[in-house]
Amino acid sequence: MAYLTTTASGQPVLILKEGTARSRGREAQRNNIMAARIIGEILKTTLGPRGMDKMLIDSLGDITITNDGAAILDEMEVEHPAAKMMVEVAKTQDDMVGDGTTTAVVLASELLRKAEELLDQNIHPTIIVSGYRKAVQKAIEVINRIAKPVDIEDRESLRKVALTSMASKAVGPAKEHLAEIAIDAVKQIVEQRGDRRIADIDNIQIIKKTGKGLFESQLVKGVIIDKEVVHPGMPKKVENAKIALLDCPLEIEKTEFSAEIRIRDPSQMKAFLDQETKMLKEMVDKIKAAGANVVFCQKGIDDMAQHFLAKEGILAARRVKQSDMEKLARATGGRIITDLDDLTPQDLGTAGLVEERKIGEDKMIFVEDCRNPRSVAILIRAGLERMVDEAERAMTDALSVVSDVIENSKIVPGGGAVETEIAKELRDYAAKVGGREQLAIEAFADAVEVIPRTLAENAGLEPIDIIVELRAVHEKSDGHLMGVNVFTGKIENMYN
Protein backbone atom coordinates (compact mmCIF):
# COMPACT_ATOMS: atom_id res chain seq x y z
CA MET A 1 0.00 0.00 0.00
CA ALA A 2 1.05 3.62 -0.52
CA TYR A 3 1.02 6.29 2.20
CA LEU A 4 -0.44 9.65 1.20
CA THR A 5 -0.88 13.00 2.82
CA THR A 6 -2.22 16.26 1.43
CA THR A 7 -0.91 19.79 1.22
CA ALA A 8 -2.84 22.83 2.49
CA SER A 9 -4.38 23.16 -0.97
CA GLY A 10 -5.61 19.56 -0.86
CA GLN A 11 -3.04 18.20 -3.33
CA PRO A 12 -2.07 14.57 -2.51
CA VAL A 13 1.62 13.87 -1.73
CA LEU A 14 3.10 10.34 -1.85
CA ILE A 15 5.21 9.70 1.28
CA LEU A 16 6.20 6.05 0.84
CA LYS A 17 6.45 4.19 -2.44
CA GLU A 18 3.79 1.77 -3.65
CA GLY A 19 4.00 -1.65 -1.99
CA THR A 20 5.61 -0.38 1.24
CA ALA A 21 4.46 -2.19 4.40
CA ARG A 22 4.32 -0.33 7.70
CA SER A 23 3.97 -1.70 11.22
CA ARG A 24 4.09 0.00 14.59
CA GLY A 25 3.62 -0.57 18.31
CA ARG A 26 3.21 -4.13 19.56
CA GLU A 27 2.92 -5.50 16.04
CA ALA A 28 6.36 -4.14 15.13
CA GLN A 29 7.85 -5.46 18.38
CA ARG A 30 6.42 -8.93 17.79
CA ASN A 31 7.65 -9.04 14.18
CA ASN A 32 11.17 -7.99 15.12
CA ILE A 33 11.40 -10.37 18.07
CA MET A 34 10.06 -13.25 15.98
CA ALA A 35 12.62 -12.64 13.20
CA ALA A 36 15.49 -12.46 15.69
CA ARG A 37 14.32 -15.58 17.53
CA ILE A 38 14.25 -17.56 14.28
CA ILE A 39 17.99 -16.95 13.88
CA GLY A 40 18.51 -18.20 17.43
CA GLU A 41 16.42 -21.32 16.77
CA ILE A 42 18.47 -22.09 13.64
CA LEU A 43 21.74 -22.07 15.61
CA LYS A 44 20.39 -23.62 18.81
CA THR A 45 20.83 -27.22 17.70
CA THR A 46 24.53 -26.65 16.91
CA LEU A 47 25.48 -25.57 20.46
CA GLY A 48 27.96 -27.64 22.44
CA PRO A 49 30.04 -30.78 21.83
CA ARG A 50 26.90 -32.76 21.01
CA GLY A 51 25.49 -30.12 18.67
CA MET A 52 24.47 -31.11 15.16
CA ASP A 53 26.10 -29.95 11.92
CA LYS A 54 24.25 -27.91 9.30
CA MET A 55 24.46 -28.54 5.57
CA LEU A 56 24.33 -25.27 3.65
CA ILE A 57 23.95 -25.08 -0.13
CA ASP A 58 24.50 -21.68 -1.75
CA SER A 59 23.09 -20.35 -5.03
CA LEU A 60 26.01 -21.87 -6.97
CA GLY A 61 25.42 -25.30 -5.49
CA ASP A 62 28.52 -25.22 -3.27
CA ILE A 63 28.04 -27.22 -0.08
CA THR A 64 29.29 -26.23 3.39
CA ILE A 65 28.93 -28.63 6.33
CA THR A 66 29.67 -27.08 9.73
CA ASN A 67 28.26 -26.23 13.14
CA ASP A 68 30.29 -23.04 13.45
CA GLY A 69 27.80 -20.25 14.18
CA ALA A 70 29.75 -17.53 12.35
CA ALA A 71 30.18 -19.72 9.25
CA ILE A 72 26.47 -20.66 9.18
CA LEU A 73 25.28 -17.06 9.45
CA ASP A 74 27.86 -15.94 6.90
CA GLU A 75 26.37 -18.35 4.35
CA MET A 76 22.75 -17.37 5.06
CA GLU A 77 21.03 -14.66 3.02
CA VAL A 78 19.12 -12.80 5.73
CA GLU A 79 16.67 -10.07 4.67
CA HIS A 80 14.73 -9.00 7.79
CA PRO A 81 16.36 -5.98 9.54
CA ALA A 82 15.97 -7.46 13.04
CA ALA A 83 17.39 -10.79 11.88
CA LYS A 84 20.33 -8.92 10.33
CA MET A 85 21.01 -7.40 13.75
CA MET A 86 21.35 -10.92 15.17
CA VAL A 87 23.84 -11.71 12.42
CA GLU A 88 25.75 -8.58 13.48
CA VAL A 89 25.76 -9.89 17.07
CA ALA A 90 27.54 -13.01 15.82
CA LYS A 91 29.99 -11.04 13.68
CA THR A 92 30.85 -8.70 16.56
CA GLN A 93 31.41 -11.68 18.87
CA ASP A 94 33.61 -13.31 16.23
CA ASP A 95 35.64 -10.13 15.67
CA MET A 96 36.08 -9.35 19.38
CA VAL A 97 36.56 -12.85 20.81
CA GLY A 98 36.89 -15.23 17.87
CA ASP A 99 34.58 -17.87 19.36
CA GLY A 100 31.24 -18.16 21.17
CA THR A 101 29.12 -16.89 18.27
CA THR A 102 26.44 -19.56 18.73
CA THR A 103 26.23 -18.89 22.47
CA ALA A 104 25.89 -15.15 21.86
CA VAL A 105 23.06 -15.56 19.33
CA VAL A 106 21.17 -18.19 21.35
CA LEU A 107 21.41 -16.03 24.49
CA ALA A 108 20.29 -12.88 22.65
CA SER A 109 17.37 -14.80 21.16
CA GLU A 110 16.27 -16.06 24.59
CA LEU A 111 16.57 -12.58 26.11
CA LEU A 112 14.20 -11.31 23.42
CA ARG A 113 11.77 -14.16 24.10
CA LYS A 114 11.71 -13.29 27.80
CA ALA A 115 11.34 -9.60 26.94
CA GLU A 116 8.29 -10.42 24.83
CA GLU A 117 6.69 -12.15 27.83
CA LEU A 118 7.26 -9.00 29.90
CA LEU A 119 5.77 -6.85 27.14
CA ASP A 120 2.67 -9.06 27.25
CA GLN A 121 2.41 -8.15 30.94
CA ASN A 122 2.34 -4.45 29.93
CA ILE A 123 5.81 -3.74 31.29
CA HIS A 124 7.29 -0.80 29.40
CA PRO A 125 10.34 -1.47 27.16
CA THR A 126 12.32 1.20 29.05
CA ILE A 127 11.91 -0.72 32.32
CA ILE A 128 12.93 -3.98 30.62
CA VAL A 129 16.07 -2.37 29.17
CA SER A 130 16.95 -0.82 32.55
CA GLY A 131 16.52 -4.17 34.31
CA TYR A 132 18.59 -5.97 31.70
CA ARG A 133 21.40 -3.42 32.06
CA LYS A 134 21.50 -3.91 35.83
CA ALA A 135 21.52 -7.67 35.28
CA VAL A 136 24.48 -7.37 32.87
CA GLN A 137 26.50 -5.38 35.41
CA LYS A 138 25.76 -7.93 38.12
CA ALA A 139 26.61 -10.82 35.76
CA ILE A 140 30.01 -9.24 35.01
CA GLU A 141 30.68 -8.98 38.76
CA VAL A 142 29.84 -12.67 39.20
CA ILE A 143 32.09 -13.71 36.30
CA ASN A 144 35.03 -11.69 37.65
CA ARG A 145 34.52 -13.21 41.11
CA ILE A 146 34.48 -16.85 40.00
CA ALA A 147 37.11 -16.52 37.25
CA LYS A 148 40.27 -18.52 37.86
CA PRO A 149 43.67 -16.87 37.23
CA VAL A 150 45.80 -18.65 34.62
CA ASP A 151 49.55 -18.38 34.13
CA ILE A 152 50.89 -18.27 30.58
CA GLU A 153 53.11 -21.25 31.46
CA ASP A 154 50.11 -23.32 32.61
CA ARG A 155 50.02 -25.36 29.43
CA GLU A 156 47.39 -27.80 30.71
CA SER A 157 44.82 -25.02 31.23
CA LEU A 158 45.60 -23.56 27.81
CA ARG A 159 45.19 -27.03 26.29
CA LYS A 160 41.78 -27.49 27.94
CA VAL A 161 40.63 -24.09 26.66
CA ALA A 162 41.78 -24.90 23.11
CA LEU A 163 40.11 -28.33 23.20
CA THR A 164 36.87 -26.80 24.48
CA SER A 165 36.75 -24.40 21.53
CA MET A 166 37.20 -27.33 19.13
CA ALA A 167 34.86 -29.73 20.94
CA SER A 168 32.03 -29.27 18.45
CA LYS A 169 34.24 -29.30 15.34
CA ALA A 170 34.42 -32.39 13.13
CA VAL A 171 38.20 -32.88 13.36
CA GLY A 172 38.07 -36.17 15.30
CA PRO A 173 41.11 -37.41 17.23
CA ALA A 174 43.30 -34.68 15.68
CA LYS A 175 41.92 -32.17 18.23
CA GLU A 176 44.84 -32.78 20.60
CA HIS A 177 47.38 -32.28 17.81
CA LEU A 178 45.72 -29.08 16.57
CA ALA A 179 45.40 -27.75 20.14
CA GLU A 180 49.15 -28.18 20.72
CA ILE A 181 49.88 -26.33 17.47
CA ALA A 182 47.54 -23.48 18.48
CA ILE A 183 49.19 -23.08 21.90
CA ASP A 184 52.73 -23.08 20.46
CA ALA A 185 51.73 -20.59 17.75
CA VAL A 186 50.12 -18.09 20.13
CA LYS A 187 52.92 -18.32 22.71
CA GLN A 188 55.46 -17.61 19.96
CA ILE A 189 53.86 -14.29 18.93
CA VAL A 190 53.07 -12.91 22.42
CA GLU A 191 54.50 -9.44 23.05
CA GLN A 192 54.87 -7.60 26.35
CA ARG A 193 53.68 -4.00 26.13
CA GLY A 194 54.10 -2.31 29.48
CA ASP A 195 52.26 -4.45 32.01
CA ARG A 196 50.04 -6.06 29.35
CA ARG A 197 50.54 -9.13 27.18
CA ILE A 198 49.37 -8.81 23.57
CA ALA A 199 48.79 -11.86 21.37
CA ASP A 200 47.68 -10.60 17.95
CA ILE A 201 46.60 -13.66 15.97
CA ASP A 202 46.79 -11.62 12.76
CA ASN A 203 50.50 -12.44 13.03
CA ILE A 204 49.66 -16.13 12.61
CA GLN A 205 49.36 -17.22 9.00
CA ILE A 206 47.05 -20.15 8.22
CA ILE A 207 47.69 -22.03 4.98
CA LYS A 208 45.39 -24.93 4.06
CA LYS A 209 46.13 -27.58 1.44
CA THR A 210 44.25 -30.77 0.63
CA GLY A 211 46.18 -34.01 0.83
CA LYS A 212 47.55 -36.28 3.57
CA GLY A 213 45.76 -36.13 6.95
CA LEU A 214 45.06 -33.75 9.82
CA PHE A 215 47.98 -35.18 11.81
CA GLU A 216 50.33 -33.88 9.08
CA SER A 217 49.29 -30.31 9.95
CA GLN A 218 52.30 -28.44 11.29
CA LEU A 219 53.56 -25.23 12.85
CA VAL A 220 56.28 -23.40 10.93
CA LYS A 221 58.34 -20.97 12.98
CA GLY A 222 58.49 -18.58 10.08
CA VAL A 223 56.34 -17.89 7.03
CA ILE A 224 54.97 -19.89 4.11
CA ILE A 225 54.86 -18.05 0.78
CA ASP A 226 52.38 -19.41 -1.75
CA LYS A 227 54.75 -18.71 -4.66
CA GLU A 228 57.33 -20.57 -6.72
CA VAL A 229 60.99 -19.72 -7.18
CA VAL A 230 60.91 -17.49 -10.28
CA HIS A 231 63.77 -19.06 -12.28
CA PRO A 232 64.63 -22.75 -12.82
CA GLY A 233 68.33 -21.98 -12.45
CA MET A 234 67.93 -20.62 -8.94
CA PRO A 235 68.64 -22.77 -5.87
CA LYS A 236 65.54 -24.41 -4.38
CA LYS A 237 67.06 -24.58 -0.91
CA VAL A 238 69.13 -21.99 0.96
CA GLU A 239 70.49 -22.56 4.46
CA ASN A 240 71.53 -19.67 6.74
CA ALA A 241 69.45 -17.38 4.56
CA LYS A 242 70.03 -13.62 4.41
CA ILE A 243 66.75 -12.25 3.14
CA ALA A 244 66.13 -8.98 1.26
CA LEU A 245 62.53 -7.75 1.42
CA LEU A 246 61.89 -5.41 -1.51
CA ASP A 247 58.89 -3.20 -2.19
CA CYS A 248 60.41 -1.99 -5.46
CA PRO A 249 60.50 -3.62 -8.90
CA LEU A 250 63.58 -5.39 -10.23
CA GLU A 251 62.78 -4.25 -13.75
CA ILE A 252 63.10 -1.13 -15.87
CA GLU A 253 60.18 1.10 -15.02
CA LYS A 254 58.21 2.58 -17.87
CA THR A 255 58.04 6.36 -18.06
CA GLU A 256 54.75 8.11 -17.35
CA PHE A 257 54.95 10.06 -20.62
CA SER A 258 55.05 8.89 -24.23
CA ALA A 259 58.47 8.85 -25.88
CA GLU A 260 60.00 7.62 -29.11
CA ILE A 261 63.55 6.42 -29.65
CA ARG A 262 64.69 6.51 -33.28
CA ILE A 263 67.24 3.83 -34.03
CA ARG A 264 68.95 4.04 -37.42
CA ASP A 265 71.34 1.08 -37.28
CA PRO A 266 71.75 -2.22 -35.36
CA SER A 267 74.58 -0.89 -33.20
CA GLN A 268 72.25 1.67 -31.66
CA MET A 269 69.74 -1.08 -30.87
CA LYS A 270 72.50 -3.16 -29.26
CA ALA A 271 73.67 -0.16 -27.21
CA PHE A 272 70.10 0.45 -26.03
CA LEU A 273 69.62 -3.17 -24.96
CA ASP A 274 73.08 -3.30 -23.37
CA GLN A 275 72.23 -0.25 -21.27
CA GLU A 276 69.01 -1.88 -20.07
CA THR A 277 70.91 -5.07 -19.22
CA LYS A 278 73.55 -3.03 -17.40
CA MET A 279 70.92 -1.32 -15.24
CA LEU A 280 69.38 -4.68 -14.28
CA LYS A 281 72.86 -6.10 -13.54
CA GLU A 282 73.55 -3.12 -11.25
CA MET A 283 70.33 -3.84 -9.33
CA VAL A 284 71.39 -7.43 -8.74
CA ASP A 285 74.92 -6.32 -7.80
CA LYS A 286 73.45 -4.08 -5.06
CA ILE A 287 71.53 -7.05 -3.65
CA LYS A 288 74.67 -9.22 -3.80
CA ALA A 289 76.78 -6.48 -2.19
CA ALA A 290 74.37 -6.30 0.75
CA GLY A 291 74.97 -10.01 1.35
CA ALA A 292 71.50 -11.30 0.44
CA ASN A 293 71.06 -14.83 -0.85
CA VAL A 294 67.23 -14.76 -0.84
CA VAL A 295 64.97 -12.06 -2.31
CA PHE A 296 61.24 -11.60 -1.78
CA CYS A 297 59.90 -8.87 -4.04
CA GLN A 298 56.45 -7.32 -3.76
CA LYS A 299 56.67 -6.12 -7.36
CA GLY A 300 57.85 -7.73 -10.61
CA ILE A 301 61.27 -9.18 -11.47
CA ASP A 302 62.49 -8.81 -15.07
CA ASP A 303 63.54 -11.97 -16.94
CA MET A 304 67.08 -10.64 -17.28
CA ALA A 305 67.20 -9.77 -13.57
CA GLN A 306 66.06 -13.32 -12.84
CA HIS A 307 68.97 -14.59 -14.94
CA PHE A 308 71.51 -12.49 -13.03
CA LEU A 309 70.03 -13.51 -9.66
CA ALA A 310 70.22 -17.18 -10.65
CA LYS A 311 73.82 -16.69 -11.78
CA GLU A 312 74.66 -15.32 -8.32
CA GLY A 313 72.93 -18.27 -6.62
CA ILE A 314 70.17 -16.11 -5.16
CA LEU A 315 66.70 -17.58 -4.58
CA ALA A 316 63.91 -15.13 -5.49
CA ALA A 317 60.12 -14.87 -5.51
CA ARG A 318 58.07 -12.06 -7.02
CA ARG A 319 54.68 -10.41 -6.48
CA VAL A 320 54.53 -11.48 -2.85
CA LYS A 321 51.43 -10.17 -1.07
CA GLN A 322 51.89 -7.15 1.19
CA SER A 323 50.47 -9.05 4.17
CA ASP A 324 53.03 -11.83 3.60
CA MET A 325 55.83 -9.27 3.30
CA GLU A 326 54.85 -7.80 6.67
CA LYS A 327 54.82 -11.27 8.22
CA LEU A 328 58.24 -11.98 6.68
CA ALA A 329 59.59 -8.81 8.27
CA ARG A 330 58.24 -9.82 11.70
CA ALA A 331 59.48 -13.40 11.38
CA THR A 332 62.98 -12.73 10.00
CA GLY A 333 63.73 -9.37 11.59
CA GLY A 334 64.28 -7.77 8.18
CA ARG A 335 63.12 -4.38 6.92
CA ILE A 336 60.97 -3.83 3.83
CA ILE A 337 62.97 -1.60 1.46
CA THR A 338 61.25 0.69 -1.04
CA ASP A 339 64.46 1.92 -2.75
CA LEU A 340 67.20 -0.51 -3.71
CA ASP A 341 69.85 2.17 -3.14
CA ASP A 342 68.93 2.11 0.58
CA LEU A 343 69.56 -1.64 1.01
CA THR A 344 72.23 -2.41 3.62
CA PRO A 345 73.32 -5.63 5.39
CA GLN A 346 71.47 -4.42 8.50
CA ASP A 347 68.17 -4.47 6.55
CA LEU A 348 68.40 -8.18 5.79
CA GLY A 349 66.29 -10.73 7.62
CA THR A 350 67.64 -14.11 8.66
CA ALA A 351 66.28 -17.66 8.60
CA GLY A 352 67.85 -21.05 9.16
CA LEU A 353 66.26 -22.44 6.01
CA VAL A 354 64.42 -21.16 2.93
CA GLU A 355 63.19 -23.97 0.71
CA GLU A 356 60.73 -24.53 -2.14
CA ARG A 357 58.54 -27.59 -1.49
CA LYS A 358 55.69 -29.21 -3.35
CA ILE A 359 52.56 -29.34 -1.19
CA GLY A 360 49.76 -31.18 -2.93
CA GLU A 361 49.63 -29.80 -6.47
CA ASP A 362 51.33 -26.50 -5.62
CA LYS A 363 54.87 -25.35 -4.99
CA MET A 364 55.41 -23.14 -1.95
CA ILE A 365 58.39 -21.46 -0.32
CA PHE A 366 58.99 -22.24 3.37
CA VAL A 367 60.91 -19.68 5.42
CA GLU A 368 61.60 -21.44 8.72
CA ASP A 369 63.94 -21.83 11.68
CA CYS A 370 63.77 -18.08 12.24
CA ARG A 371 65.37 -16.79 15.42
CA ASN A 372 62.61 -15.70 17.84
CA PRO A 373 60.03 -15.00 15.10
CA ARG A 374 57.19 -12.57 15.86
CA SER A 375 55.09 -14.16 13.12
CA VAL A 376 54.50 -17.86 12.46
CA ALA A 377 52.60 -20.05 9.99
CA ILE A 378 50.31 -23.04 10.38
CA LEU A 379 49.96 -25.49 7.50
CA ILE A 380 46.68 -27.42 7.69
CA ARG A 381 46.40 -30.70 5.77
CA ALA A 382 43.41 -33.02 5.30
CA GLY A 383 42.18 -35.44 2.68
CA LEU A 384 38.99 -33.56 1.78
CA GLU A 385 38.51 -29.88 1.03
CA ARG A 386 35.55 -29.70 3.44
CA MET A 387 37.65 -31.28 6.17
CA VAL A 388 40.41 -28.73 5.54
CA ASP A 389 37.85 -25.91 5.82
CA GLU A 390 36.45 -27.31 9.08
CA ALA A 391 39.97 -27.75 10.48
CA GLU A 392 40.73 -24.12 9.59
CA ARG A 393 37.61 -22.99 11.50
CA ALA A 394 38.62 -25.15 14.46
CA MET A 395 42.15 -23.76 14.42
CA THR A 396 40.93 -20.16 14.17
CA ASP A 397 38.66 -20.68 17.20
CA ALA A 398 41.46 -22.32 19.19
CA LEU A 399 43.93 -19.53 18.36
CA SER A 400 41.37 -16.90 19.36
CA VAL A 401 40.51 -18.37 22.75
CA VAL A 402 44.12 -19.18 23.66
CA SER A 403 45.15 -15.61 22.80
CA ASP A 404 42.23 -14.27 24.88
CA VAL A 405 43.29 -16.34 27.89
CA ILE A 406 46.93 -15.28 27.56
CA GLU A 407 45.94 -11.60 27.32
CA ASN A 408 43.37 -11.66 30.14
CA SER A 409 44.84 -14.46 32.30
CA LYS A 410 41.42 -15.73 33.46
CA ILE A 411 39.13 -18.66 32.70
CA VAL A 412 35.69 -19.78 33.92
CA PRO A 413 34.18 -23.28 34.03
CA GLY A 414 32.07 -24.46 31.09
CA GLY A 415 29.20 -26.91 30.81
CA GLY A 416 26.68 -24.25 31.83
CA ALA A 417 28.38 -23.79 35.23
CA VAL A 418 28.99 -20.07 34.90
CA GLU A 419 25.50 -19.43 33.47
CA THR A 420 23.84 -21.32 36.33
CA GLU A 421 25.87 -19.37 38.89
CA ILE A 422 24.93 -16.07 37.22
CA ALA A 423 21.24 -17.05 37.24
CA LYS A 424 21.40 -17.90 40.96
CA GLU A 425 23.10 -14.62 41.86
CA LEU A 426 20.70 -12.59 39.69
CA ARG A 427 17.65 -14.05 41.41
CA ASP A 428 19.09 -13.05 44.80
CA TYR A 429 19.94 -9.61 43.42
CA ALA A 430 16.46 -9.13 41.91
CA ALA A 431 14.83 -9.50 45.32
CA LYS A 432 16.90 -6.54 46.56
CA VAL A 433 16.10 -4.30 43.57
CA GLY A 434 12.30 -4.42 43.83
CA GLY A 435 9.82 -2.72 41.53
CA ARG A 436 9.14 -3.80 37.97
CA GLU A 437 12.85 -3.92 37.20
CA GLN A 438 12.92 -6.99 39.46
CA LEU A 439 10.84 -8.85 36.88
CA ALA A 440 13.29 -7.92 34.11
CA ILE A 441 16.28 -9.11 36.15
CA GLU A 442 14.52 -12.40 36.92
CA ALA A 443 13.71 -12.78 33.22
CA PHE A 444 17.41 -12.23 32.44
CA ALA A 445 18.30 -14.96 34.96
CA ASP A 446 15.86 -17.38 33.30
CA ALA A 447 17.24 -16.48 29.85
CA VAL A 448 20.86 -17.18 30.85
CA GLU A 449 19.89 -20.75 31.77
CA VAL A 450 19.09 -21.40 28.11
CA ILE A 451 22.76 -22.38 27.67
CA PRO A 452 22.84 -25.39 30.06
CA ARG A 453 19.30 -26.29 28.96
CA THR A 454 20.33 -26.35 25.29
CA LEU A 455 23.53 -28.28 26.05
CA ALA A 456 21.39 -30.93 27.75
CA GLU A 457 18.82 -31.03 24.93
CA ASN A 458 21.48 -31.42 22.24
CA ALA A 459 23.08 -34.26 24.23
CA GLY A 460 19.78 -36.14 24.47
CA LEU A 461 19.46 -35.48 28.22
CA GLU A 462 16.36 -34.35 30.09
CA PRO A 463 16.79 -30.55 30.35
CA ILE A 464 14.38 -30.04 33.27
CA ASP A 465 16.19 -32.63 35.40
CA ILE A 466 19.58 -31.12 34.52
CA ILE A 467 18.50 -27.56 35.39
CA VAL A 468 16.97 -28.66 38.71
CA GLU A 469 20.12 -30.60 39.62
CA LEU A 470 22.38 -27.70 38.61
CA ARG A 471 20.38 -25.23 40.70
CA ALA A 472 20.59 -27.52 43.72
CA VAL A 473 24.33 -28.14 43.48
CA HIS A 474 25.09 -24.43 42.96
CA GLU A 475 23.79 -23.72 46.45
CA LYS A 476 26.92 -25.42 47.82
CA SER A 477 30.22 -23.63 48.49
CA ASP A 478 31.97 -25.06 45.42
CA GLY A 479 28.80 -25.10 43.32
CA HIS A 480 30.08 -22.48 40.87
CA LEU A 481 32.48 -25.11 39.49
CA MET A 482 29.72 -27.58 38.62
CA GLY A 483 28.33 -27.99 35.12
CA VAL A 484 26.83 -30.67 32.92
CA ASN A 485 29.20 -33.16 31.30
CA VAL A 486 27.34 -33.90 28.07
CA PHE A 487 29.40 -37.03 27.46
CA THR A 488 28.47 -38.73 30.76
CA GLY A 489 25.19 -36.94 31.46
CA LYS A 490 26.38 -36.12 35.00
CA ILE A 491 26.93 -32.90 36.93
CA GLU A 492 30.67 -32.58 37.48
CA ASN A 493 33.46 -30.16 38.36
CA MET A 494 34.18 -28.57 34.98
CA TYR A 495 37.82 -27.77 35.78
CA ASN A 496 38.48 -31.49 36.18
447 phi and psi, to 5 degrees? Answer: -65, -40
CA-based nearest residue to 463, from 472, 454, 474, 475: 454
- pLDDT bin (cut points 50, 70, 90) of residue 446 is very high
For residue range 263-317, list pLDDT tens digits in order: 666 665 555 556 677 888 889 999 999 999 999 999 999 899 999 899 999 999 9
Q: Where are the domains of the chain?
A: 25-149+413-493, 151-218+373-408, 223-254+264-372
Q: Which of 64, 102, 332, 454 is catalytic?
A: 102
* Burial class (CB within 10 angstroms; exposed 0-12, middle 13-18, buried 19+) of 72: buried
148 phi and psi, to 5 degrees? Answer: -105, 125
Q: Which of 94, 302, 397, 446 is catalytic?
A: 397
Is 202 annotated in the active site? Answer: no
Decide if domain 25-149+413-493 falls under CATH 1.10.560.10: yes
Q: Which of 68, 94, 404, 446 is catalytic?
A: 68
Q: What are the residues whose beta carbons fall under 8 Å from the beta carbon of 395, sequence distance 6 or more?
A: 178, 181, 182, 206, 378, 380
Task: Report the topology of domain 223-254+264-372.
Answer: GroEL (3.50.7)
Q: What is the maximum alpha-carbon separation in the chain? A: 101
For 102-210, strand residue ranges (E) read 148-149, 191-193, 196-198, 204-210
For residue range 138-174, list pLDDT tens digits in order: 999 999 999 988 888 889 989 999 988 888 787 888 8
Decide if domain 151-218+373-408 falls under CATH 3.30.1490.190: no
Q: How much is the pLDDT for 168?
A: 78
Q: Which of 45, 64, 66, 101 is catalytic?
A: 101
Is 126 annotated in the active site? Answer: no
CA–CA distance, 189 with 201 (Å, rounded to integer): 8
Is 302 annotated in the active site? Answer: no
Is 101 annotated in the active site? Answer: yes
For residue range 81-124, list pLDDT tens digits in order: 888 888 888 888 888 888 888 899 999 999 999 999 999 898 99
